[in-house]
Amino acid sequence: MKYDFGDSVQLAVMDENGRSLLKPCEVVGITRVESVQQSEIFKVPIGTVLYTVEFGDGSDVSVPEGALETLAPG
Protein backbone atom coordinates (compact mmCIF):
# COMPACT_ATOMS: atom_id res chain seq x y z
CA MET A 1 0.00 0.00 0.00
CA LYS A 2 1.27 3.37 -1.00
CA TYR A 3 -1.01 5.58 1.11
CA ASP A 4 -2.30 5.45 4.69
CA PHE A 5 -5.39 6.64 6.54
CA GLY A 6 -5.51 10.44 6.70
CA ASP A 7 -3.06 11.00 3.84
CA SER A 8 -3.83 14.00 1.65
CA VAL A 9 -3.96 12.95 -2.01
CA GLN A 10 -5.45 14.13 -5.27
CA LEU A 11 -7.66 12.41 -7.81
CA ALA A 12 -8.12 13.35 -11.46
CA VAL A 13 -11.83 13.93 -12.16
CA MET A 14 -13.65 15.23 -15.22
CA ASP A 15 -15.42 18.59 -14.99
CA GLU A 16 -18.69 19.42 -16.73
CA ASN A 17 -16.74 20.35 -19.90
CA GLY A 18 -14.88 17.04 -20.05
CA ARG A 19 -11.59 18.48 -18.83
CA SER A 20 -9.48 16.62 -16.29
CA LEU A 21 -9.02 18.39 -12.95
CA LEU A 22 -6.97 17.32 -9.94
CA LYS A 23 -9.25 17.34 -6.91
CA PRO A 24 -7.74 17.21 -3.39
CA CYS A 25 -9.08 14.56 -1.02
CA GLU A 26 -8.14 12.50 2.04
CA VAL A 27 -7.79 8.72 2.44
CA VAL A 28 -10.54 7.47 4.76
CA GLY A 29 -10.57 3.76 3.93
CA ILE A 30 -8.38 1.03 2.46
CA THR A 31 -9.64 -2.27 1.01
CA ARG A 32 -7.51 -5.02 -0.51
CA VAL A 33 -9.52 -7.09 -2.99
CA GLU A 34 -8.85 -10.68 -1.87
CA SER A 35 -11.63 -12.85 -3.31
CA VAL A 36 -13.40 -13.57 -6.56
CA GLN A 37 -16.60 -12.17 -5.05
CA GLN A 38 -14.92 -8.85 -4.15
CA SER A 39 -13.29 -8.75 -7.59
CA GLU A 40 -16.69 -9.14 -9.27
CA ILE A 41 -18.36 -6.54 -7.03
CA PHE A 42 -15.65 -3.88 -7.43
CA LYS A 43 -14.83 -4.88 -11.04
CA VAL A 44 -11.07 -4.95 -10.39
CA PRO A 45 -8.56 -7.83 -10.28
CA ILE A 46 -7.81 -9.75 -7.09
CA GLY A 47 -4.88 -8.06 -5.31
CA THR A 48 -6.01 -4.52 -6.19
CA VAL A 49 -5.85 -2.01 -3.34
CA LEU A 50 -8.86 0.31 -3.31
CA TYR A 51 -8.76 3.58 -1.42
CA THR A 52 -11.89 5.35 -0.25
CA VAL A 53 -11.19 9.05 -0.44
CA GLU A 54 -13.31 11.90 0.88
CA PHE A 55 -13.57 15.32 -0.70
CA GLY A 56 -14.03 18.66 1.07
CA ASP A 57 -17.78 18.60 0.37
CA GLY A 58 -18.15 15.30 2.28
CA SER A 59 -18.64 13.12 -0.80
CA ASP A 60 -16.48 10.04 -1.21
CA VAL A 61 -15.45 7.47 -3.80
CA SER A 62 -13.42 4.24 -3.86
CA VAL A 63 -10.68 4.09 -6.48
CA PRO A 64 -7.66 1.90 -7.26
CA GLU A 65 -4.29 3.00 -5.93
CA GLY A 66 -3.05 3.99 -9.39
CA ALA A 67 -5.76 6.65 -9.72
CA LEU A 68 -4.33 8.72 -6.85
CA GLU A 69 -1.37 11.06 -6.65
CA THR A 70 0.37 12.58 -3.66
CA LEU A 71 -1.02 16.04 -2.99
CA ALA A 72 1.50 18.68 -3.98
CA PRO A 73 2.44 20.96 -1.04
CA GLY A 74 1.08 24.42 -1.15
pTM for this model (two decimals): 0.84
CB atoms closer than 10 angstroms to residue 47: 9
If one counts the domains in the chain, the total is 1
What's the CATH code of the domain at 51?
2.30.30
Residue 49 lies in a domain: yes
| Per-residue tens of pLDDT for the chain, all 74 residues | 699 999 999 998 888 898 988 899 999 999 999 999 999 999 999 999 999 999 999 999 999 998 999 987 66
Please report whether residue 61 resides in a domain. Answer: yes
Rg (CA), the chain: 13
The answer to the question of residue 45 being in a domain is yes
CB contact at 8 A, 6 and 26? yes
Asked if residue 44 lies in contact with residue 70, where contact means CB atoms within 8 angstroms, the answer is no
Measured CA to CA, the distance from residue 67 to residue 71 in angstroms comes to: 12
Separation CA 74–CA 67 (nearest Å): 21
Domain presence at residue 39: yes
* Domain range for 21: 8-70
